[in-house]
Structure 1
Amino acid sequence: MKFDTNPMSQKIFTRGLDVDTISAYLCCCGLAVEEGTMSLERLLVVWNQGEDVLNRALQVLETQNIITPFVRNGEAFYQVHPPEQWLSPV
C-alpha cells in the first residue's frame, strides 16, 4: 500500500524509545512513502548500523504494534500502523 502522505507520527518521539529504534521507524516510514512497502532487504540497504541493531529495533517496534511483519513471496516486509493502533510502551 503506497501512502498519500507520510505515515510518520511525531508521537514516536514521546515513547522513550532509543535512537536506533526511532531511526528504524523513520526508515520504515520513508520507504513506505517512496516505495509503498518496506522489506527487510530494502531496510538493510539504507541502514548504516549492523543488522543485529536493526533487528533489535524492529523487534521493539513490533512489540508495541508500531509495525507488523508479513511475508510476501518468501520475503519479509513490514507495515507501519497509525498511532491509534500502537500499544502502550512497556
Structure 2
Amino acid sequence: MTIPTGSGGGRRIEVQPRASRRHYAATFSTIKVEYVHRRHFRTRTEARLEIATWITDFYNRRRRHSVCDWRSPIDYKRSETRALEAQAA
C-alpha cells in the first residue's frame, strides 16, 4: 500500500502491512537481545560487520526457529531431504 507523503511533490511512500512490520520488529528485537546488547562496538562499521557476520553464521544457520519445528534451519533441511528421499525410494 502506498500513501502520499504530504510534501506536495506527489511523492508517495510504501507502507508495509502490520503483519510484516511485526515480523521485522520481532526479528530485530531478537537480534538486539541475543547479540547487540551483549557486546560493545567501538565503531558503527565494526558493529555492522559483526552483526552481519552473526546473522549469517549463527542466526540463519544454527539458531532454532519455531517455523522449523524448533530445529536449526540446517537440521530441518537435512531431515526434510531424508524424508523426501525415503518417499522416493
- Give the structure with the higher percent strand: 1
| TM-score bracket, shorter-length normalisation | under 0.3
Specify which structure has the bigger relative contact order, considering alpha-carbon pairs within 8 angstroms and separated by 6 or more residues: 1
Q: TM-score, normalised by structure 1?
A: 0.27
- Over alpha carbons, which structure has the higher Rg? 2
- Give the structure with the higher percent helix: 2
Q: TM-score, normalised by structure 2?
A: 0.28
